[in-house]
């Protein structure tokens, strides 16, 4: 079964036929909200809103461990993450859809592993390629089927938030090699890897990152809202094509 984790602007899938909801419990606490089981183009799918259904959980407080654990328990065989980001590169302007291929993790203080030592074995998972390449290609094909141009590849900088970055921080991320910046990509991706669940993301650029082009003087929330609303409609169209891709 395919799992979809929706971010800001995507707390439900209008093209999903909902069959049931389930409040899951895990050894790591409660996930962000109920798991919504249903079908999309006649295939089973489970959906979870990362920030809760009322959008009340900020990025640094999302219980990533409980979310990924609950999805695995529910039978998720692959996880597609949808999340909004800021564009660092000039060609990644608001409205761009991108399927990243690499991650740099700048987050801190989050519960980020299932392998805490103690009773369990110490394990070091391979994370050279953080996103599953087969799933990435499938997302790109789904985009093409939906008539959307999606950028293939990009380096995602996972920032701590919840505040946006300073212009100097964005300059640093770019020097490090980052193309886009978001707040929720980690530890979500590495936890999925720890549980051996293929994971890939569709990132929606909703603003230029701090200090860049239209964000040179600051980032306007009303502009983000407007882009988000329209772009998530397009993402729904892409998700609908995954089962054909």
81 binds ligand HPA (CB under 6 A): no
What does the radius of gyration of the chain's CA atoms come to, in whole angstroms?
17
Q: Which DSSP state fits 59?
A: G
Answer yes or no whether residue 92 interacts with ligand HPA by CB under 6 A. no
Work out how close the CB of 166 gets to ligand HPA at its nearest, in angstroms, rounded to a whole number. Answer: 11
Under the binding rule (CB under 6 A), the answer on residue 16 touching ligand HPA is no
* CB of 84 closer than 8 Å to CB of 7: yes
Q: Quickly count: other Cβ atoms within 10 Å of residue 128's Cβ.
A: 5
Question: Minimum distance from CB of 242 to ligand HPA (Å)?
Answer: 23
* Residue 201 within binding range of ligand HPA, rule CB under 6 A: no
Does residue 76 bind ligand HPA (CB under 6 A)? no
**CA–CA distance, 156 with 123 (Å, rounded to integer):** 25
Tokens standing for 133? 């390449």
What b-and-e string marks burial along 70-81, b requiring 16 or more CB atoms within 10 Å of the CB?
bbbebebebbbb
Segment contacting ligand HPA (CB under 6 A): 47-55, 68-76, 135-143, 202-210?
A: 202-210
The torsion defined by the Cα of 208, 101, 52 and 69, in degrees rounded to 10, comes to -160
Q: Which is nearer to ligand HPA, 86 or 143 (CB)?
A: 86
Candidates 94, 100, 143, 182; binder of ligand HPA (CB under 6 A) is 182
Nearer to ligand HPA, 181 or 241 (CB): 181
If binding means CB under 6 A, how many residues of this protein chain bind ligand HPA? 12
Residues at the site binding ligand HPA, with contacts judged by CB under 6 A: 84-86, 159, 164-165, 181-183, 206-207, 209
């Amino acid at each position: 079964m395919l799992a979809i984790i929706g971010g800001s602007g995507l707390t439900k899938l209008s093209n999903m036929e909902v069959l049931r909801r389930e409040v899951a419990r895990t050894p790591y606490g409660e996930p962000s909200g109920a798991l919504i089981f249903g079908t999309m183009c006649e295939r089973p799918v489970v959906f979870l809103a990362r920030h809760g259904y009322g959008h009340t959980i900020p990025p640094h407080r999302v219980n990533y461990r409980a979310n990924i654990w609950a999805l695995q328990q529910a039978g998720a065989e692959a996880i597609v993450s949808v999340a909004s980001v800021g564009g660092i590169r000039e060609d990644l302007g608001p409205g761009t859809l991108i399927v990243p291929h690499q991650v740099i993790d700048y987050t801190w203080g989050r519960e980020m592993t299932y392998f805490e030592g103690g009773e369990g074995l110490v394990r070091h998972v391979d994370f050279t390629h953080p996103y599953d390449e087969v799933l990435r290609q499938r997302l790109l094909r789904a985009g093409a089927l939906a008539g959307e141009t999606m950028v293939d590849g990009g380096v995602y900088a996972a920032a701590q938030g919840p505040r946006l970055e300073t212009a100097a921080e964005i300059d640093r991320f770019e020097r490090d090699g980052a193309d886009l910046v978001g707040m929720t990509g980690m530890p979500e991706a590495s936890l999925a890897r720890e549980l051996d669940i293929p994971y890939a993301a569709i990132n929606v650029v909703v603003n230029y990152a701090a200090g860049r082009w239209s964000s040179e003087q600051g980032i306007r929330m009303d502009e983000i809202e407007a882009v988000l609303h329209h772009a998530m409609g397009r993402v729904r169209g892409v998700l609908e094509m995954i089962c054909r891709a």
